[in-house]
Amino acid sequence: YVEMLSGLQARQINAGQLAAAYDYIVVGGGQSGLVIANRLSEDSGRSVLVVEYGYFDNNPAQVEPASATQYLSRNLFNLSSVAQPGIGNRQGQVYAASVVGGGSTVNGMLFDRGSAEDYDIWERLGNPGWGWSGLLPYFKKSTTFTPPSPELTREYNITWDIERAYGNGPVQATFPDWQWPGIKIQWKAWAEVGMPINTEGAAGDAFGAYWIPSNVDQQYRRSYARTGYWDPVANRANLKLLIGYRVNEVLFNANKRAESITIQERGSSNGAPTITVKATQEIILCAGWLHTPQILQRSGVGPRALLQQAGVNVVADLPGVGSNLQDHPVSRAGFQYQTDVVPNPGSLNSDATFRTWADQQWQQRKGPRSMGVGNALVTAPLPILTSNFQAILDKGKAQNAASYLPRGYTAAQVAGFVAQRDILLASFAKQDNGVVEIPFSGGASTSLVLMKPLSRGTVLLNPANRYAEPSVDFNVNINPVDPDILVATIKFFRRWMAAPSMQQLTPVEQTPGASLTSDAQLANYLTTSMGASTAHSCCTAAMAPQEQAGVVSADLTVYGVTGLSVGDISIIPIIPATHTCATVYAIAEKAADLIKARYDPSIPSPPTTPGTSTQPVPTTTTANPQPTQPPSCTVNKWGQCGGQGYTGCTTCAAGSTCTFSNDWYSQCL
Ligand SMILES: Cc1cc2nc3c(=O)[nH]c(=O)nc-3n(C[C@H](O)[C@H](O)[C@H](O)COP(=O)(O)OP(=O)(O)OC[C@H]3O[C@@H](n4cnc5c(N)ncnc54)[C@H](O)[C@@H]3O)c2cc1C
């Protein structure tokens, strides 16, 4: 412990201990920054400095499952977007972490990946090496999966495929010790409405319905960039971290080579003295979707007109810096089950006996309190949502793209968007990727999340004060294809609620409300109900060919300058249909390999030739197989023990008896 502590102290420095120069400077010690710093400092001959605006959050509560929904303001940059015409001029909540470990320290711990197609379209856009086959090794390198208990697995028929999806990486993933019984009925209903059921989403088949783990260790504590990539390398003397400092600018020499950064203590007034630190090899921007483009713009790399307006000398005119902003906008379907199974997600609030039992269980780190925000998703392909999908695609293809893009998009930016749109519309017609997400965990209400929006937003420097927070415009719900897909989703969700299995729960619609039936009424409901962000903002320094207004090339270096790269979520060109944390780990792992190979000829660069076949291995696409009855088994208290169509265990654990709830459901109470 003493050794570890002195190691930690050696690595965390104050400004007075800064060296004049480091081989690598990583800007931002968030999720991607800690991964890249860890990997680059594996070579003890290279010095690495990380500069992070936030502090450590050492509160033990921040690693507990309950932290998944708390989003504490102390760990976030707290700002809102400009008014959003697409959602009735409401402002959007802006989510960006400001703490060591970044988004991985604060996030909801839903840990999934996109489908193979979601990454293959990055490659198709002109980014060789960034398709599924180029990224899977890095998904595997970052994560270790541990199966849940045999009892939970059997009771809920939880499925996974370690061999195809996981490796031996620093981030731990597993399932909590609990699921809500109503989820079994929901699984059946998905099959009844024709949703493909996949045994593993993380192996390239993240479409249809599938189970997803949480990024937690086996005690259900948050497993994140700090525990995975920072704490274990306490003894590296060549790795330094300065916290509580903001990186202001990257400075370039006359040859446009990035030479140094200027930093300023957090909380000091703008215009206060700054410190300059040199990088002899490379500066890697990992300040996240909100600040990576802002730092670029402040440094003279961005849209010429904006930089001139802000009085910034133009080093490289890159119109794409701060454009192409994407997120997963969200609406909601509110239902009530009038004959719900018990316990259900509401029971922790409504049933004191159950709550006491849950608290007792949690003292042994078991039971409902091990759960975060749920572990099952539907990511629905468009042709499954609606038989009318071709009309939506035709409308998208026929539209004048520029009319829905942010003002001031250049011809290259419009061309870049049209390339994205055409690739997206072609993939929407297929059934190997999804366009909306519907999380389900036994509750009656859920989010309806648009996973592949066509609307694009911006993050722009404030010309009057370049050190103030940038202006965020999600431009949400502006491209008409977006509401068309969500309207189809609401109708499909109603079909799911009307599926035979669901009738035992007697679902009753609250919102949008059964009286709203026409497309126009539902689109209007979306305008009033939709949120612009699910905290997956990305894509503001996109990897794409320069003639399509890309900001970085496939080796992640910034166009028009040298010695500067981006390694965070900003580089994504098209948002994948997944929560973004696992994808950021894969990007950062790959970024580190690309950087290492630039400076060490003995290290092979990851291939940048287009991937070969990226077809995922076929998976189960029939109904979720019913659990087979093991020779002898017991059901834990609150679990299902009988009912029509039920083929699992029927013997209740000591202290509970199998009790009839309704024709479809008996339960150990
Ligand atoms: C509230 C929230 C909930 C989420 N929930 C989920 C979820 O359940 N599942 C999932 O998969 N994904 C989730 N995400 C998304 C995911 O966590 C992020 O996409 C991911 O962490 C982004 O990683 P990053 O490295 O690009 O940026 P970050 O991790 O945000 O790192 C950027 C870092 O740069 C620092 N920084 C910024 N500006 C400067 C500057 N000028 N100088 C120095 N440092 C600076 C910041 O303080 C921050 O630490 C969530 C995100 C948030 C914010």
Interval 237-284: pLDDT, tens: 999 999 999 999 999 999 999 999 999 999 999 888 999 999 999 999
Q: Is the pLDDT of residue 620 over 80?
A: no
| Cis peptide upstream of residue 512 (ω within 30 degrees of 0) | yes
Say yes or no: CB of residue 291 within 6 Å of ligand 1.
yes
Q: Which residues are catalytic?
A: 536, 579
pLDDT band for 610, please (50, 70, 90 cuts). Answer: low
Distance, CA of 505 to chain centre:
32
Q: Is the pLDDT of residue 76 over 60?
A: yes
Instruction: Tell which atom from ligand 1 comes closest to the C-alpha of 263.
Output: 42
User: Residues 512-530: what's their mean pLDDT?
Assistant: 98
Q: What is the pLDDT of residue 5?
A: 52
User: Residues 115-144: what's their mean pLDDT?
Assistant: 98
Using a pLDDT cut of 90, give the percent of the chain over it: 87
Pocket test for ligand 1, best of 76, 283, 584 (most atoms within 8 A of CB): 584
User: Residues 455-468: what's their mean pLDDT?
Assistant: 97
Q: Residue 78 forms beta bridges with which residues?
A: 95
Q: What is the pLDDT of residue 644?
A: 72
What secondary structure letter does DSSP report for 655?
T
Task: Write the ipTM.
Answer: 0.99
Say yes or no: CB of residue 102 within 6 Å of ligand 1.
yes
Helix 481-497 crosses helix 519-529 at what angle (to 10 degrees)?
100
What three-state secondary structure class fits 296?
helix
Q: Is the pLDDT of residue 164 over 80?
A: yes
Q: Is 247 annotated as a binding residue?
A: yes
Which pair of structure tokens corresponds to residue 469?
């927070």
User: Residues 455-476: what's their mean pLDDT?
Assistant: 97
**What would the pLDDT profile of 225-245 be if each residue is shown by its tens digit?**
999 999 999 679 999 999 999
**What is the rounded CA–CA span in Å between residue 28 and residue 288?**
8
Closest-CA residue, ligand 1 atom 17, reads 103
* Prediction pTM value: 0.93
Burial class (CB in 10 A: 0-12, 13-18, 19+), 17: exposed
Query: Is the separation of the CB atoms in 443 and 345 below 8 Å?
Result: yes
What secondary structure letter does DSSP report for 222?
B
Q: What is the pLDDT of residue 247?
A: 98
Closest-CA residue, ligand 1 atom 37, reads 287
Q: Is the pLDDT of residue 520 over 50?
A: yes
DSSP percent split of the chain into helix, strand, coil, nearest 5? 35, 20, 45
Least reliable range by pLDDT among 334-343, 489-498, 615-624 = 615-624
Q: Is the pLDDT of residue 391 over 60?
A: yes
Distance between Cα 30 and ligand 1 center (Å): 6
Query: Is the separation of the CB atoms in 233 and 241 below 8 Å?
Result: no
Which pair of structure tokens corresponds to residue 62?
């921040």
**What is the rounded CA–CA span in Å between residue 110 and residue 439?**
10
The torsion angles phi and psi of 419, rounded to 5 degrees, stand at -60, -45
Least reliable range by pLDDT among 341-350, 502-511, 653-662 = 653-662
Say yes or no: CB of residue 226 within 6 Å of ligand 1.
no
- Across the chain, which distance is largest between two alpha carbons, in Å? 79
Q: Which residues contact 400 (CB under 8 A, 6 or more apart)?
A: none
**What is the rounded CA–CA span in Å between residue 67 and residue 663?**
38
Q: Residue 24 forms beta bridges with which residues?
A: 48, 282
Q: Is the pLDDT of residue 643 over 90?
A: no
What secondary structure letter does DSSP report for 515?
T
Which pair of structure tokens corresponds to residue 116?
């193979």
Compute, in degrees rounded to 10, the torsion defined by CA atoms 6, 11, 14, 20: 130
Instruction: Tell which atom from ligand 1 comes closest to the C-alpha of 71.
Output: 1
Distance between Cα 96 and ligand 1 center (Å): 5
Q: How many CB atoms lie within 10 A of CB 412?
A: 18
Q: Is the pLDDT of residue 65 over 50?
A: yes
- b/e string for 417-432 if b means 16 or more Cβ within 10 A? bebbbebbbebbeeeb
Going by C-alpha positions, the residue among 638, 64, 646 that lies closest to residue 344 is: 638
Q: How many CB atoms lie within 10 A of CB 12?
A: 16
Distance between Cα 31 and ligand 1 center (Å): 6
**What is the rounded CA–CA span in Å between residue 503 and residue 42?**
57
Say yes or no: CB of residue 97 within 6 Å of ligand 1.
yes
Q: What is the 3-state secondary structure (H, E, C) of 55-110?
A: ECCCCHHHHCHHHHHCCCHHHEEEEEEEEEHHHCCEEEEEEEECECCCHHHHCCCE
Using a pLDDT cut of 70, give the percent of the chain over it: 94
pLDDT band for 633, please (50, 70, 90 cuts). Answer: confident
What secondary structure letter does DSSP report for 214?
B
Which pair of structure tokens corresponds to residue 605?
């660069």
Say yes or no: CB of residue 110 within 6 Å of ligand 1.
yes
Pocket test for ligand 1, best of 142, 298, 533, 580 (most atoms within 8 A of CB): 580
Which pair of structure tokens corresponds to residue 302?
């961005």
Q: What is the pLDDT of residue 325?
A: 98
- The amino acid sitting at 23 is D
Say yes or no: CB of residue 213 within 6 Å of ligand 1.
no
pLDDT band for 616, please (50, 70, 90 cuts). Answer: very low
Q: What is the pLDDT of residue 358?
A: 96
User: Residues 143-152: what's their mean pLDDT?
Assistant: 97
Q: Is 99 annotated as a binding residue?
A: yes
Which pair of structure tokens corresponds to residue 502?
């669901």
Q: What is the pLDDT of residue 608?
A: 62
Q: Is the pLDDT of residue 617 over 60?
A: no
Distance between Cα 4 and ligand 1 center (Å): 27
Instruction: Tell which atom from ligand 1 comes closest to the C-alpha of 103.
Output: 21
User: Residues 454-472: what's their mean pLDDT?
Assistant: 97
Task: Spell out where 253-380 has E strands.
Answer: 258-265, 275-285, 301-302, 316-317, 330-337, 376-380
pLDDT band for 640, please (50, 70, 90 cuts). Answer: confident
**What would the pLDDT profile of 354-375 be if each residue is shown by its tens digit?**
999 999 999 999 999 999 999 9
| Cis peptide upstream of residue 343 (ω within 30 degrees of 0) | yes
Q: How many CB atoms lie within 10 A of CB 518?
A: 9
Q: Residue 538 forms beta bridges with which residues?
A: 326
Q: How many CA atoms lie within 13 A of 49 on its CB side?
A: 27
Q: Is the pLDDT of residue 612 over 70?
A: no
Going by C-alpha positions, the residue among 446, 510, 522 that lies closest to residue 484 is: 522
**What is the rounded CA–CA span in Å between residue 628 and residue 263?**
61
Q: How many CA atoms lie within 13 A of 429 on its CB side?
A: 12
**What is the rounded CA–CA span in Å between residue 28 and residue 456?**
25
Q: Residue 249 forms beta bridges with which residues?
A: 262
pLDDT band for 664, please (50, 70, 90 cuts). Answer: low
User: Residues 88-113: what's their mean pLDDT?
Assistant: 98
Pocket test for ligand 1, best of 214, 536, 566, 570 (most atoms within 8 A of CB): 536
Pocket test for ligand 1, best of 98, 139, 226, 575 (most atoms within 8 A of CB): 98
**What is the rounded CA–CA span in Å between residue 54 and residue 100?**
6
**What is the rounded CA–CA span in Å between residue 23 and residue 47?**
5
Q: Strands 376-380 and 436-439, how do they pair? A: antiparallel
Say yes or no: CB of residue 103 within 6 Å of ligand 1.
yes
**What is the rounded CA–CA span in Å between residue 175 and residue 162?**
13
Say yes or no: CB of residue 107 within 6 Å of ligand 1.
yes
Burial class (CB in 10 A: 0-12, 13-18, 19+), 603: middle
User: Residues 610-620: what's their mean pLDDT?
Assistant: 43
Q: What is the pLDDT of residue 632?
A: 65
User: Residues 289-310: what's their mean pLDDT?
Assistant: 98
Q: Pick the residue with more confidence: 638 or 372?
A: 372
Q: What integer best gives the mean pLDDT of the chain?
A: 93
Q: Which residues contact 598 (CB under 8 A, 6 or more apart)?
A: 281, 282, 555, 605
Say yes or no: CB of residue 322 within 6 Å of ligand 1.
no
**What is the rounded CA–CA span in Å between residue 6 and residue 455?**
50
pLDDT band for 615, please (50, 70, 90 cuts). Answer: very low
Q: How many CB atoms lie within 10 A of CB 75?
A: 23
